[in-house]
Structure 1
Amino acid sequence: MAPDLPLPRWLNRVGVFDLETTGIDVMSDRVVTAHVGVIDADGRQIAARSWLADPGIPIPDGATAVHGVTTAHARAHGRPAREVVEQVIHALRSLLAQGVPVVAYNASYDFSLLASEARRHGVAPLIDPSPIVDPFVIDKAVDRYRRGKRTLGDVAAHYDVVLEGAHEASADAIAAGRVAQALARQYALAESSEELHTRQVGWARSQAASLTEYFISIGRIDPAETLDGAWPVRSDRHA
C-alpha cells in the first residue's frame, strides 16, 4: 500500500450516508436507523444527524442481531417512518445540491431501499442522485483480483481504517467516508467527483454482469436471470 497521493480537493469535504434496515430486500424492507453526516479531509465528522424510525413492521430477529434495534425499541422511541424518510432525503438532497459528494458503501442498496421507502410513503424520491462515491464499487474496480470478502469491515481493515461499532449507521457511514479517502490516496481515481460518478456507473454494470455469470455457473440463479447493474439506484431484489 505504498502510494500516498494527495487527497483530491473534491474529497476534502464529503457527505456520508448509511441505513440499517429490517432486511436486504430493497423493495420490501424498511429503514430502521439512518445517518447523514459530513467529514473533513482528515476524516473527522464536522456535521451529523441520525434517525431512529418505527418501520411499521416487525423487525426480524436476524436484523436485530445485526444492528441491535428491536421492534419494541423502535415502536417506543422511533419517529414515524414517513417523517424519517422525508428528512433523510432532504438532508441528502441538500448536500448534493451544494455539490458535496455523498459516500455510501454499496450505494445501490441504500439508495434503492430509500427510493422504495419514498414511494411507499408518498415522498418525492431522489432522482439520479449525483455525485455519489461508493467504496464498494471502487475497491472491486481498482483491486479486482484481491482475494477475500468485500464487506465494509474487511475493506476498512485492508485500508487501515478503524471501524468501531460496525452495523451502527453512523459508524458505518463515517468508516465508508474514510475508506473512500484512503482509496483516493492509494489510486488516482478521477479528476472530479462527477467523473468518478460516471466511471462507477460503468464499473457497477460490469461487476453485475460478472457476478451474474458466476451465480449462473454455481446454480444460484437461473440462466435466464440477470442481476441489475444499475447504480446508484436499482430495482433488482438481489443484494
Structure 2
Amino acid sequence: MINKYAGRCATCHAQVGAGTGQRASVNGIWSTYHNGCVPVRVAPPMGCHGGWHDLPVVGFDLEGTLPEPMETRIVSAALVHSDGTTREWLVDPGVPIPADATARHGITDEMVRTGGRPARDALAELGTAIAKLIADSTPLVAFCAPYDVTALHTELARHGLPALDWDRAVVIDPSVLHQQVEPRWYGRRQLGDLCRYYEVTLDNAHDAASDARAAAELARSIAARHERIARMRPDALHQAQIGWHAEQARDLQLSFDRRGLGKTVSTQWPLEAAPRG
C-alpha cells in the first residue's frame, strides 16, 4: 500500500515523504516504511513432528467461465496425487468463455472446441474420480474450496449427473488453515502470495494442475510448520474448518459492512447451498 502521508520509517527512522514508500502491517500494526525497509515476512520453521501431511492427499482445482461458483461453467479441472500422478480434463462448457476468464486462465473457445471433452462426459469422469477419493477417505485439498466444490456440485446437477456426498468428504483448505494460524495477517492472501510465504513452488498460476499441486504442497507446508494442525485427524480437521471458515467469513463481512461495500460473504464451507449477494 503506497504511503499517502509523510512520516518516519519504522525501520530506519528516517523521514518518508508523502506519496513515497509504503504502509505495511507487521504483526497487526500498520507502519510507514521506505520501500527497501519493509520487513520481510518469514514463515515459521518446519518442525520434525508427524501428522496427516505425511500421508497421501490429492490436490483439486478447476477453472471456470465466471467468478460465481453457482453460475460458472467448468473449462478445466485437475486432480494431483501425492506421488505426482495427475489427471487433467479440458472441458467444452457449451457456452462462450468470457474474455476476462480467458485472460485469467488462458483457455479460449477455440481450445475447448478443438481439444475439449463434452462437458457431461468430462464431468462424469471427474465426479467418479472424486467419489472414489471420498469413499477411500483420501483428503482432497482445494484452495478456497467453496468455489471448486460448489462449482462442481452445481455442474453435476446441471448435467443430470450423480451428486457427490460432500458430507462424507475430507476437504483441506489451505486458505482457511492460513487464516487460522496467522490471524493477524494483513494483505493479499491469494494462492501465489501464500506459496511465496510458505516456500512452495507455483509453476503456472491459474493452470488447474499447477494450482492443484501447489494447493496440496501448501497445505502440507502449513501442517509441517504448525504441529497442532498436523496432529489433527483429517476428518476432525475438516469439521474444525467448518467453524473456522464461518468465523473468518463473519469477520470479513464486518469489514465489508464497515466500508459500505454491499458484499455478502457466505459462511458455508466447503459447499455453498445458497447464492451470495
- Distance in 2 (CA, whole Å) between partners of 1:214 and 1:87 is 40
Structure 1 segments, 4+ long, off by >6 Å, are none
Out of 54, 57, 67, which is 1:24 matched to? 67
The Cα of 1:4 is off from its aligned counterpart by 1.4
TM-score normalised per structure 1 = 0.92
Which residue of the other structure, out of 216, 231, 246, is the alignment partner of 1:205?
246
SS of 2:77's partner is strand
Question: Is 1:107 aligned to 2:149, yes or no?
Answer: no
Matched, 1:13 2:56: yes
Q: How far apart, CA to CA, are the structure 2 residues paired with 1:182 and 1:238?
A: 31
Q: Does 1:228 align with 2:228?
A: no
* Structure whose alpha-carbon radius of gyration is higher: 2
Contact 2:61/2:209 (<8 A) preserved: yes
2:207 alignment partner in structure 1: 168
Return the match for 1:191 from 224, 229, 232. Answer: 232
The letter of the residue matching 1:163 is: L
| Larger RCO: 1 or 2 (CA < 8 Å, sep 6+) | 1
CA offset digits 1:155-205 (Å, max 9, x no partner): 011000010111100000000000010001111214210110011000111
List gaps (5 residues or longer) in structure 2: 1-43
Pairwise CA RMSD: 1.6
Q: Partner of 1:4 in structure 2?
A: 47
**Distance in 1 separating the partners of 2:52 and 2:155:** 33
Between 1:155-164 and 1:92-101, the stretch displaced more is: 92-101
Q: Secondary structure of the equivalent of 2:97?
A: coil
Count of matched residue pairs: 231
Is the CA contact (8 Å cut-off) linking 1:10 and 1:193 kept in structure 2? no
Question: For the residues of structure 2 that align with 1:66 and 1:144, how far apart are their CA atoms?
Answer: 29
Residue 158 of structure 1 aligns with which residue?
197
Contact residue 228 and residue 235 of structure 1 kept, 8 A: no
Q: Give the structure 1 partner of residue 179 of structure 2.
A: 140
Report percent identity of matched pairs.
35
The gaps in structure 1 that reach 5 residues or longer are: none
